[in-house]
């Protein structure tokens, strides 16, 4: 289905018939991605006396409990409440869900024992950036990301000055295929998170970070429209299913 939409005074033709899902599904086993030293999620039927909430076990319905952590197990969108002493929830602060987005792919630079995304790399990719959302795909890109155990891997992260540059471009919504925009073990400094939200000086309450996405190689770098729709959790972060749509013209 093609639709003409107006967004911030500009007109676009969008192909809604071919959604490009860049989320990772949550599973109840060790094929689920994991981070932050937690075990895999659990999806298990409710057991209450003789009742087992599983049709194949004689129940009339499937009736599961789900245990997971949004930051460790799923594509998730977070707000400044992730790092603030005050309570802020994604449900409170994300009020619109459709954004012009640009997808870029970068191979992080090696610095010592780390892999980092630098300001210089972003400047080269974002010379003519005109969008509200940035989707950052890490190279090399491989299908194993959808089931990777990230714990103790020292994943690639965004340097503080690179994140300041992202903020200064006016990017409100940042999406990455890593478990965090910060170094795995950074002594709690969270420099990239703080720089993105400009916390606590000029906090950007309506800005979000989405982590643990997966962008298949068949999706080319370029401009898209993004539907960012977190689940209705009163929490600093919630599971999310970001979907990209191609701009026809």
Summarize pLDDT for 114-138 with one digit per residue, the tens.
999 999 999 999 999 999 999 999 9
Cα(16)–Cα(246) distance, integer angstroms = 8
What are the E-state strand segments in the chain? 2-7, 10-15, 20-21, 42-45, 47-48, 51-52, 64-67, 76-78, 98-106, 109-111, 114-117, 133-138, 157-158, 173-176, 208-211, 222-227, 237-239, 243-246
Write out the two tokens for 212: 């643990």
DSSP string, 80-105: GGGT-SS---HHHH----EEEEEEEE
Summarize pLDDT for 60-106 with one digit per residue, the tens.
999 999 999 999 999 999 999 999 999 999 999 999 999 999 999 99
Dihedrals phi, psi of 226, to nearest 5 degrees:
-115, 130
Write out the two tokens for 198: 């400009």
Report helix, strand or coil for 176. Answer: strand
Measured CA distances, 4 to 29, 93, 102, 111, 205 (Å): 42, 28, 19, 45, 30
Q: What is the DSSP letter of 108?
A: P
Stretch 189-199: mean pLDDT: 98
Domains of the chain: 2-25+70-246 (3.50.30.50)
pLDDT band at 109 (very low <50, low <70, confident <90, very high): very high
pLDDT band at 152 (very low <50, low <70, confident <90, very high): very high
Burial degree of 17 (CB within 10 A; 0-12, 13-18, 19+): exposed
* pLDDT reading at 217 higher than 90: yes
Question: How many CB atoms within 10 Å of residue 100?
Answer: 17
pTM of the predicted protein model: 0.96
């Amino acid at each position: 289905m093609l639709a003409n939409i107006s967004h911030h005074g500009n007109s676009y033709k969008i192909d809604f018939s071919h959604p490009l899902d860049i989320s990772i599904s949550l599973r109840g086993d060790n094929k689920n991605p994991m981070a932050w030293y937690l075990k895999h999620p659990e999806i298990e039927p409710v057991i209450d006396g003789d009742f087992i909430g599983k049709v194949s076990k004689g129940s009339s319905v499937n009736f599961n409990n789900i245990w997971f952590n949004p930051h460790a197990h799923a594509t998730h969108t977070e707000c400044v409440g992730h790092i603030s002493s005050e309570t802020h929830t994604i449900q409170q602060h994300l009020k619109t869900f459709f954004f012009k987005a640009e997808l870029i792919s970068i191979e992080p630079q090696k610095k010592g024992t780390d892999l980092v995304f630098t300001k210089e790399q972003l400047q080269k990719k974002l010379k003519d950036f005109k969008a509200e959302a940035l989707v950052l795909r890490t190279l090399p890109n491989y299908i194993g990301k959808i089931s990777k155990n990230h714990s103790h891997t020292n994943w690639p992260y965004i340097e503080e000055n690179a994140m300041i540059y992202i903020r200064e471009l006016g990017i409100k919504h940042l999406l990455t295929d890593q478990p965090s925009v910060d170094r795995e073990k950074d002594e709690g400094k969270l420099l990239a998170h703080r720089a993105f939200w400009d916390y606590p000086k000029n906090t950007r309450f309506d800005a979000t970070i989405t982590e643990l996405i997966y962008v298949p190689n068949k999706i080319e770098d370029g401009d898209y429209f993004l539907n960012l729709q977190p689940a209705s959790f009163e929490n600093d972060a919630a599971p999310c299913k970001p979907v990209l749509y191609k701009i026809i013209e």
